Structure 1
Amino acid sequence: MQKTVIIIAGPTASGKTALSVQLAQLFHTAVISADSRQCYREISIGTAKPSPEELAAVPHYFIDSHSIQEEVNAGVYEKLALGYTADIFKNNDIAVMCGGTGLYIRAFADGIDDMPAIAPGIRTHLNEQFALHGLPWLQQQLQERDPGFYATAETQNPQRLIRALEVLDATGQSITTFRSATRSQRDFNIIKIGITPPKEILHQRIHQRVDHMVHAGLVEEVRSVIRYREHNALRTVGYQEIFSFLDGYISLDQAIDDIKTHTRQYAKRQLTWFRKDPAFQWFDPRDDEEIISYVQQQLL
């Protein structure tokens, strides 16, 4: 059998973790996380890490592997994930990858271009401007300074906009200049599985997950990392809203409602990203037997 990585992707709260553990148990292998925040030891509740039972069921890579003080990006992830894969392949023909960070999955499957180094002051300045003026300021800056990239950018994703502006400030060139669009060839097979339940069920799961996070101590977790609030991993849904609550700008109820709204919006962006890749075969996560049958057919 050719060495194979089964990638399980989809929107947040779609059931990726449970399915990945099920597949890993079936094939007696390990799971590589493809989530840009679950690698950080200091944040667990707001990142919806696998439960202790799921972590005990099969080996996991890229969970609690880094400190929030470390910088992890798609380029770092590509190298790490290829190393994890090689480690799994020493004893198994199959590895499972699971996550919703589309850029990380693309970096692993296709490779990613080396980006220029960014002076810390540039990022700090842009983050300060974002905090002052919000998303519209980022959008206006990028639309005026790099309209070509802006036309195809994820304009609702502040991290992507800040990244593009960083490159502009550091080099005077568009981020597209550093993208060769040359795919790296991998010496293993990749099976891409996308899962999402019907929208109303996904939204219900999102709302239940947010309520569970709050009951599990999300506010206390966010308070414990407030000194790292400028870190990209904390400029995300679930943390920014609680920061606003802790700063006294909104009530806790409003923060919870905002997390639910922003998570639904994020899930929609995830689906848009993954559906652009025709290699993904899509399933309802409740049809686990159909998914397993499909995977087994691909492995023949």
Structure 2
Amino acid sequence: MSANSQGVLLCVVGPTAIGKTALAVQLAQHFNTEIISADSRQFFKEMCIGTAVPSPEELAAAPHHFIQHLSITDSYSVGDFERDAIALLDELFKEHPVVVLVGGSGLYVDAVTKGLDEFPEIAPGVRDALNQQLKNEGIASLQDELQQKDPEYYSEVDLQNPHRLIRALEVIQQTGKTFSSFRNQQPKQRAFKTIKLGLTAERELIYDRINRRVDIMIQEGLLQEVKGLLSFKDLNALQTVGYRELIGHLETDTPLQDAIDAIKQNTRRFAKRQLTWFRKDPQIQWFDYQTPTAEIVSALAAQHKELQRS
């Protein structure tokens, strides 16, 4: 790529279980390029089955980055990811006119494409009090408080992730303003052009795909994976759908089938919130999940000269 040309970051987004990974691999092969994962759940090498990490065949079909490169004991924030992903893109664009970014973590996609919003410093006591509230009253108390004080963010956030709830509430309590009011600030200028495409389907079909994926995860040994991580249950990485419910099964009298049903329900809720997040972005061009890759490439290239040249 010439020094004065602008690289294109082709972002593939959408709800969980919709087929983003498969499309990203096909796009990477079409453009002879590499893939950056923006799925924060797939960063951790100890978590494989429950995070739907790309298969060995998919990983071999195109170079991937930010897949199982961390341990669950590592401290790694979305700010760290923004820094590392931008540095990697600077290198990749020296060799590739197009790079593919894929993931369902809207915050992580935004961190790369727009940059993170600036939030106020939080006094340590505020976070400590919220952590104590979580311990004493449970996650439902945090959910109720967020719903009351910031219904907009409540509609988007993963309500089962206490880390995200506490992050929002500490900003609200520190400033007296909603967490939402600090978001969507002026985007940072990037040295590349961003093109976004989303995969979608009818809601019932998405839910059916989710239910089938959970069944497959159980068959592949998700319960055994969680048993091996039980001593790390309090780490933030384990506060995620699929792991949290099975930890509950292992530590209480919750029947396994009830835990599996809860995983399906919470994953469906997560997918709904993913769509709420992404559908607020007018830059995303949506395609049915069954649209052939060649048709997607043609539709995007018709609108973006950068892809026509690649």
Structure 1 residue 74 corresponds to structure 2 residue 78: yes
Alignment partner of 2:277 out of 261, 268, 273: 273
Change beyond 3 A, Cα 1:40–1:248: same
Q: CA deviation at 1:246?
A: 0.5
Q: CA deviation at 1:131?
A: 5.4
1:127–1:230 CA contact under 8 A, matched in 2: no
d(CA) in 2 for partners of 1:246, 1:125: 29
d(CA) in 1 for partners of 2:175, 2:185: 20
Partner amino acid, structure 2, of 1:66: L
Alignment partner of 1:284 out of 288, 298, 308: 288
1:36–1:233 CA contact under 8 A, matched in 2: no
Q: C-alpha offsets along residues 83-141 of structure 1, whole Å, 9 cap, x if unaligned?
A: 22112112111100000000111111111135466688865764564355344300343
Partner amino acid, structure 2, of 1:293: S
Equivalence for 2:197: 193
d(CA) in 2 for partners of 1:126, 1:231: 16
Change beyond 3 A, Cα 1:127–1:38: farther
Aligned ranges for residues 1-300 of structure 1 at < 5 Å?
2-115=6-119, 126-127=130-131, 129-130=133-134, 132-142=136-146, 147=149, 150-155=150-155, 157-158=158-159, 159=161, 160-167=164-171, 171=174, 174=177, 175=179, 181-288=185-292, 289-297=294-302, 298=304, 299-300=307-308
1:19–1:285 CA contact under 8 A, matched in 2: no
Instruction: Give the 3-state SS of the residue equivalent to 1:69 in structure 2.
Output: coil
2:153–2:180 CA contact under 8 A, matched in 1: no
d(CA) in 1 for partners of 2:58, 2:123: 39
Q: C-alpha offsets along residues 14-38 of structure 1, whole Å, 9 cap, x if unaligned?
A: 0000000000011110110010110
Q: C-alpha offsets along residues 39-94 of structure 1, whole Å, 9 cap, x if unaligned?
A: 11110111001001100111101001111112222211111111221121121111
2:152–2:180 CA contact under 8 A, matched in 1: no
1:31–1:95 CA contact under 8 A, matched in 2: yes
5+ residue gaps, structure 2, are none
d(CA) in 1 for partners of 2:41, 2:129: 23
Greater displacement, 184-193 / 217-226: 217-226
d(CA) in 1 for partners of 2:184, 2:211: 40
d(CA) in 2 for partners of 1:120, 1:232: 18
d(CA) in 1 for partners of 2:147, 2:61: 47
Greater displacement, 32-41 / 286-295: 286-295
TM-score normalized with structure 1 length? 0.89
5+ residue gaps, structure 1, are none
d(CA) in 2 for partners of 1:223, 1:133: 26
Greater displacement, 286-295 / 57-66: 286-295
Partner amino acid, structure 2, of 1:294: A
Greater displacement, 154-163 / 220-229: 154-163
What is the number of residues matched between the two proteins? 295
d(CA) in 2 for partners of 1:274, 1:130: 29
d(CA) in 1 for partners of 2:78, 2:135: 24
Change beyond 3 A, Cα 1:281–1:180: closer
Q: C-alpha offsets along residues 229-284 of structure 1, whole Å, 9 cap, x if unaligned?
A: 22222111101110110012311111111111111111111011100000000001
Change beyond 3 A, Cα 1:79–1:122: same
Partner amino acid, structure 1, of 2:267: T
Instruction: Give the 3-state SS of the residue equivalent to 1:250 in structure 2.
Output: coil
d(CA) in 2 for partners of 1:121, 1:282: 44
Report percent identity of matched pairs.
46
Partner amino acid, structure 2, of 1:212: I
Partner amino acid, structure 2, of 1:60: H
d(CA) in 2 for partners of 1:205, 1:280: 22
